[in-house]
Amino acid sequence: MPSRWKDLLPGLLLLTMVAVLFAVTLQFDTVPAAFAQGMQSAAMPQLILVLITILTIVMIYQGHGHEEDKKAPMTWRFWATAAVLLSAAFLFKWLGITLTTALTCFALPLLWGERRITRVAIYSIATPLCIYLLFTHALQLRLPQGVLSPWLT
């Protein structure tokens, strides 16, 4: 990646996204003009995508000759946190919100350097429990409980 092209990477990614989405808009159904009331359904997204393209080209042009800003390094902690959040997204359906939140509240503090394991354990039980009691019993919001459904209703 040339170092004197600031914002080239986000620019290229945005342009790729625009190209893909523009191709998608070409597949949108059309309706007779009388039903379209001024604009076909693809017109607005296409207009916005063209605008993003122009602005992205301006951004890339403005970044020419400038060094990329120094960014904080992404350590293993970031990737591990991302993995925990993604795992949670998959686990919600099976384990339910309360249990998955408990696991997340247990894993994240440990990943972020917390070493007082008893506190982490108490915290990871107390937080989802408070949320369960508040939302299910006080606010009458039924949270999906997955495998805990027979016990938590």
Partner 1 sequence: MEPILTGLGILTDPVAIAVILLGTVVGVLVGALPGLSSSMAVALLLPFTIYLDPIPAISMLAALYCAGTFGGSITAILINAPGAPPAAATAFDGFPMAQKGEAGRALGMAAVSSVIGGILSLVVMVLAAPALARIAHSFGPPEYFALAIFGLSMLASISGKSPVKNLIGGALGLLIATVGVDLTTGVERFTFGVPQLYEGISFIPILIGLFAVAELLSQADVVDRAMDRIALKAIKLPSRDDFKRVWKTILRSSGIGTFIGILPAEGSTMAAMIGYNEARRWSKHGDKFGTGEIEGIAGPEAANNAATGGSMVPTLALGIPGSATAAVILGGLQIHGIRPGSYLFENQPELLYSIFAAMLVANLVFLVFGLVGARLFSRISLIPRTFLWPTVFALCVVGAYGVNQSLVDVTIMLITGFIGFWLKRYGFGAAPIIMGVVLGSLVENSLAQSLIIFDQDASRFLERPIALGFFLLAFLSIFAKPISNGLKGLKRRRAVNGGHS
Contact footprint for partner 1 (CB under 8 A):
7, 9-10, 14, 21, 24-25, 28-31, 35-42, 44-45, 48-49, 51-52, 55-56, 58-59, 62, 69, 71-75, 77-78, 80-82, 85-86, 88-89, 92-93, 97, 100-101, 104-105, 108-109, 111-114, 123-124, 127-128, 131, 135, 139, 141-144
* C-beta of residue 90 within 8 angstroms of C-beta of residue 82: no
Q: How far is the CB of 98 from partner 1 (least distance, A)?
A: 10
Q: How far is the CB of 41 from partner 1 (least distance, A)?
A: 4
Q: How far is the CB of 133 from partner 1 (least distance, A)?
A: 12
Q: Which residues contact 97 (CB under 8 A, 6 or more apart)?
A: 128, 143, 144, 145, 146
Q: Of 81 and 148, which CB lies nearer to partner 1 in the complex structure?
A: 81
Give dist(CA 70, CA 73) in Å, integer: 9
* C-beta of residue 65 within 8 angstroms of C-beta of residue 4: yes
Which residues of the chain form beta strands (DSSP E)? none
